[in-house]
Structure 1
Amino acid sequence: MTGNGTHDARRIREALGHVVIDADAHHVEISVAFADFVRDHGGGALLADPAVRALGLTDSAGEQVPALDQRRRRHISARPVWWTPADTLDYASVTMPALYHERLGEAGIDFAVVYPSRGLTLLSLENEDTRVGLARLYNEYVAEIYAPYRDRLSPVAVIPAHTPAEGIAALEHATSVGLRAALMPSFVWRPIPAFADAPPQYRSRLQRIDNFGLDSEYDYDPFWAKAVELDVPLSCHTSGFTLPGHFTPSNYSYAAGHFAAVGEGTAKSLFLGGVTTRFPGLRIALLEGGVAVGVRVYGDLVSRFEKRGRAGLDRLDPTHLDAAELHRLAGRYAPGLTRYAPEQLVPGTSAPDGQVDDFAASGVTSVAEIRDAFCRNFFWGCEGDDPLVGLAWDGRVNPLGATLPAMMGSDLGHWDVPSFTLPLVEAYELVEDGILTPAQFEEFVCTNAVRYYAGAGSSFFAGTAVAADVERIQSATWERTA
C-alpha cells in the first residue's frame, strides 16, 4: 500500500463526512503489570500454573517456545516472534491507554473496540480454575485501566466457554464490571471417545474440535440466550496454529489464512446446527479472517442446499433408478456388465441413522432464509489492506445479491500494522482503486460496526464520543427497514 503518515489519515477522516469505528484494535498487555494486578487481587496462585508461565503471562521473558528440533519432533507450530511494533511511540500507544486515547485521532479513528493480545491465550488454558480465574481477573484489569478513556476506547471481555455454565458466569461477571462486548473461543478441543483410554502423552493429540453448534458436546443454547438477554455481541478470534494443514514447525508465515479457516468452521457449525435460526438476535463476529471466506461459505451453503436440501435430495434418491432399464442399457453400451443382476447395478441405498438432509438441524427451508440468517447473525472482521473486501458487496458473486457485513479491524498493536496511523490510509485505497464506492466504504468503516456492536438500539455506544452519530445511523437503519 502506498500511503502513510499522520497527515494522510487525518485528511482522509476529515473528508469522509462520517465517523470511523475500528472494529478490531488491540491492547498489548505488559505481562508484569497484569501479573501484579492478579497478585494484588488474590490470584497469585493462578500464576504458578506451568501453562501460564510458558505463555509468558507472568514476567517480561515472553513465551517459552520450544527449539526447532523439538517443534519438529512434536509437530507443533512455529510462533510469531517479534509480533509487536518496534517503533517506541507506536508500542507505547498500544500498551498505555492514555496515549492510545490521545493518538487515536492521528489514525483518523473516532472510536476503537480494543481486543486482547496475550489475553487471547487465556481462553485455551486447560486447567479450569486457572482459565476461569485469570479470565475474570483480566476483565477486571482492562475495565479498570480503560475506565477513564471509554469515550473513545472500549475494551473487550474474554469469555471462557468450555461449558455453557462457564460462559454464562463469565458473561454475567463481565457485564457487571462494565464491559459491553465479549470475546469467546472459536472452538474447544474435546477428547474423542474412541481414544479416551489412550496413554496421556498421546491423548492430547487425539482430539476433535467443538465449535459449539453442530455435534457439540454440550447444549449451548442457554449461553446464546444469555448473550441475547444481556445484549452482548460475541466475537471469535482464536488462532489456527494447532489445526493440521495450517502450520509448520519451521515457518510462521505458512499459517497465513488460519484465522479464515477457524472462522469458517465456527460459522458452518453455528449455522448448520440451527443456532442462527433459534437466536435471530445473536450477533457473532469472526475476526481477522476477512469476508472472502464468508462469501465462499455463504455461496457453498446455498449451492449445497439446492442440491442436498430436502427438495434437492429427491433427485439423488437411488430408489428412483430403473434397474431393468440400466440392465438394458448395459447390454448395448457395456455388455460386460450384463453378467450382474439388474439390482446389482444400482448404488447402495443405505442411510445410516436416517441422516439424509444436511440442513434439517439448521431450521432453514429456503435459500432466502439462508441469506437472511447468514447475513444477519455473522459479521466479518477484515484488515484495511485486504482487497477482497469488495466481495462482500458483489451481487454478481453472492447468491440473491446478498451483502455480507464486513467491518474494518485495524489490528493495531500487531506485526501486520507497520504504523499506528496507517490502517485507515490502507483501507481508503479500496475507494481510490474503485473496489468500494464511498457509500460501501462508510458501511465498512462505520455502519456495520454499529450494527454489530449496538444492534438495533443497545447502549453500547452510550456516553461515547460517537453516540450522536450512532443514534443517527440507527435511526436511518430503522427508517429503511420499517
Structure 2
Amino acid sequence: MTEYSRLKTSRSAAIKANLDYPIIDTDVHTNDFTPALEDYIAKYGGSKLVDELRKAEASRLNSKSNGKDWYQQTPEERQYNRTIRSPWWARVTRNTLDLATYTLPELFYERQAEQGSDYSVLFPNNVLAPAGASKENRQALQRAVNHYHADLYRKYSDRLTPVAGIPMGNPQEAVEELEFAVKTLGLKVANIPGGVKRPIKAIADKYPADQYPEIAKYASYIDFYGLDSEYDYDPFWAKAVELGVPITTHYGSQGWTGRSSISNYMNNHIGHFADGSQAFAKALFFGGVTKRFPQLRVAMLEGGADWGAHVYIHLVDRFSKRSLKGLQNYNPDNANSDELFVLFERFGSEFLQEHPLSKEELTKSVLGSSFNRHSRSPVGSELEDFAAAGIETIEDIRDRWVNSFFFGSESDDRTIAAAFNDKANPLGVKINAIYSSDVGHWDVPDLTDPLAESWDLVQEGVISEADFKAYVFHNPYKFYTQANPDFFKGTAVESKVPTPQVDKSLVVA
C-alpha cells in the first residue's frame, strides 16, 4: 500500500499528529461492490431478494413519470409531467484511489491515519435501499443487507462500524430488525428514514392506488413518527434505549414544495437535508418522544448544525408567546368591550356613525377581522402545542431539544458557528454539532481534506479550538456513549479517553 499512501503529505494527518484526543467521524459513505452484495443476498434469500434490491435502488435514485425517468424524457415531457430533476454524478471518479477506498474495506481501514481519523461510522449506500422494497420482502431484504455489512466489516471493528438500516413502515418491523441487528449481528448504530410516505386515506379510498397510480403518487403525506402518526412508535424508541442504540438519519426533502425544480438539481439540493431533518426532529419534540425517552439520542446528518440552533431559539421564543400563560394575551374572552368601545368613540367615531354597533357587536367584529374567526374556540388540549412535549420552562426545551439531538455538520460548513454561539442560544448553550465528513459523496473530492478543512475554521476565527475539540471528539463521543457507555469498548478510541460515566439523571426507573 505504500505506493498509494499520501500520509506524509496529508494536511489532516499533520493536524491530527498535534492533537491529544481522538477524531471520531460520524458520517462516512461507502460503496457496496455490487456483484459481491448480490451474491450474498442470493445465498441469503434467493433471487427474489436480488430483484427487490435492484428495483428498490432504481426507484430511490430516479424520479419517474409514465415509466420514464428524467433523463429519458424530453424537456416538453418534463414540463408536462413536472418530473423532478434527479441527482447525477454523485461519486468521486477522477480520484481513483478514493473511489477504490470507499469500496474496499481493507483499503479504507489502512487509510484511516491518512484521513486523520481514529474511528468512523459507515453508511453503506445501499443500507436503506430495502425501505423501498415491496412490503412482503422489505424485512427480509433489510436483514440480508445488514447481515452483509456486519460480516464485511467485522474484522475492522476497532476503527470502523457500519450502521444497521432499520425499516420504519410500522413499529413492529422496526423493533424486530433492531433486535436482530444488535443481538444477532452485533451492530451498534441504527440508521432510519426520517419519515415514511403514506397515502391520504380520504383520497386513497376514492382512488385506489392499483387503479390510479398517478394520483396515488401525489396524494400522500409524510409520517414523521412522533406527531400525528397512524402508529404508536414508542415501542421502537423504547427498544433503542433498552439496547443502547443511537439513532441516525439522513433525511432529505427534495421533491417537497420549493425543492421540486424540473431542471435544477442544486435548487432542489441546497438545504434539503436540514429541512427534512427539521421536520423529523420537531415531530419527536412536539410529540413528546424526547420527554418520554430522555436517554434516546438522535443524530440528523448532512444538514449542518445551524438549523438546530435556529429551531431551538424559535422554540424558546414561541413558548414565551404560545404557552398556556402566554396564550391569554390572545384569548378573545379577555378583550375589554367597554375599553374598546371608548377608544372607537374617541378615535373612530366615523366608523360607529356609519356602522352603529353595540359594545358586544363591536368587539365581535374587531376580533373577527383577525385570526380568531373559527366555528368555535379551541378547548382543552387543543389550546397548547407544547403540551405533549411537557414544556413548562425554557429549561425543559433545552433538555428535550439540545440534550437529545445531535447535528451532523460537514467539515467546510461555516454555518457551524451558529451552533457554538452561546451568546445567541438561550441559556448560553452550544448545540451538539458533530463531525460528519460525508466522505464518499461528491462534496468530498479528496478524503484527506475534511479534518484539515475543519481546522481551517479555527484558523479563520469561525470557531474556537475548544469548539473544534467538541465538534470532532467530545460531541460525537457523547452521542454514542450517552446511548451506550460501552460503545467504544475494544476500539481504537477506548485507550485514548477516560472510562465514560453514566449520567444517572438520565436513567429511567
Same topology, TM > 0.5:
yes
The answer on 1:150 being equivalent to 2:157 is yes
Q: Which residue of 2 aligns with 1:79?
A: 86
- The correspondence of residues 458-473 of structure 1 with structure 2, limited to 5 A, is 458-472=485-499
Alignment CA distance shift 1:457-1:232 (3 Å):
closer
Q: Is the 8 A contact 2:45 2:140 kept in 1?
A: no
The answer on 1:177 being equivalent to 2:190 is no
Which of 207, 223, 230 is matched with 2:220 structurally? Answer: 207
1:100 maps to amino acid? F
Segment of structure 1 superposing worse, 271-280 or 37-46: 37-46
Segment of structure 1 superposing worse, 458-467 or 281-290: 458-467
Q: Is the 8 A contact 1:159 1:170 kept in 2?
A: yes
Give the count of matched residue pairs: 470
Q: Which residue of 2 aligns with 1:343?
A: 360
Which of 9, 16, 19 is matched with 1:16 structurally? Answer: 19
Deviation of the 1:405 alpha carbon: 0.6
Q: Is the 8 A contact 1:47 1:53 kept in 2?
A: no
The answer on 1:95 being equivalent to 2:103 is yes
Which ranges in structure 1 are unaligned for 5 or more consecutive residues? 58-62
Segment of structure 1 superposing worse, 336-345 or 134-143: 336-345
Deviation of the 1:454 alpha carbon: 1.9
Cα distance between partner residues in 1 of 2:149 and 2:377: 52
Segment of structure 1 superposing worse, 383-392 or 111-120: 111-120
- The correspondence of residues 45-56 of structure 1 with structure 2, limited to 5 A, is 45-49=48-52, 51-52=55-56, 54-55=58-59
Alignment CA distance shift 1:437-1:218 (3 Å):
same
Q: Which residue of 1 aligns with 2:303?
A: 289
Q: Which residue of 1 aligns with 2:252?
A: 239
SS at match of 2:136: helix
Alignment CA distance shift 1:202-1:64 (3 Å):
closer
Cα distance between partner residues in 2 of 1:137 and 1:404: 36
Q: Is the 8 A contact 1:43 1:133 kept in 2?
A: no
SS at match of 1:297: helix
Identity within the alignment, %: 39
Structure number with greater Rg is 2
1:335 maps to amino acid? S
SS at match of 1:232: coil
The answer on 1:448 being equivalent to 2:452 is no
Deviation of the 1:68 alpha carbon: 4.5
Cα distance between partner residues in 1 of 2:347 and 2:293: 54
Q: Is the 8 A contact 1:31 1:56 kept in 2?
A: no
The answer on 1:186 being equivalent to 2:194 is yes
Q: Is the 8 A contact 2:153 2:162 kept in 1?
A: yes
1:16-62 Cα offsets, whole Å, 9 max, x none, are 111100011111122332222111212321233473362489xxxxx
1:108-148 Cα offsets, whole Å, 9 max, x none, are 1111000122333332x152123222211110010011011
Segment of structure 1 superposing worse, 321-330 or 214-223: 321-330
TM-score by length of 1: 0.92
- The correspondence of residues 28-67 of structure 1 with structure 2, limited to 5 A, is 28-49=31-52, 51-52=55-56, 54-55=58-59, 66-67=71-72
2:24 maps to amino acid? I
Q: Is the 8 A contact 1:187 1:211 kept in 2?
A: yes
- The correspondence of residues 401-416 of structure 1 with structure 2, limited to 5 A, is 401-416=428-443
Alignment CA distance shift 1:234-1:371 (3 Å):
same
Alignment CA distance shift 1:122-1:213 (3 Å):
same
Cα distance between partner residues in 1 of 2:343 and 2:258: 45
1:294-321 Cα offsets, whole Å, 9 max, x none, are 1111111111111001111111111111
The answer on 1:367 being equivalent to 2:390 is no
SS at match of 1:246: coil
Which ranges in structure 2 are unaligned for 5 or more consecutive residues? 1-6, 62-67
Coordinate RMSD, CA, aligned? 2.3
Q: Is the 8 A contact 2:252 2:274 kept in 1?
A: no
1:202-249 Cα offsets, whole Å, 9 max, x none, are 022011111111111111111100000000000111222232212312
1:343-369 Cα offsets, whole Å, 9 max, x none, are 233325633464111101111211011
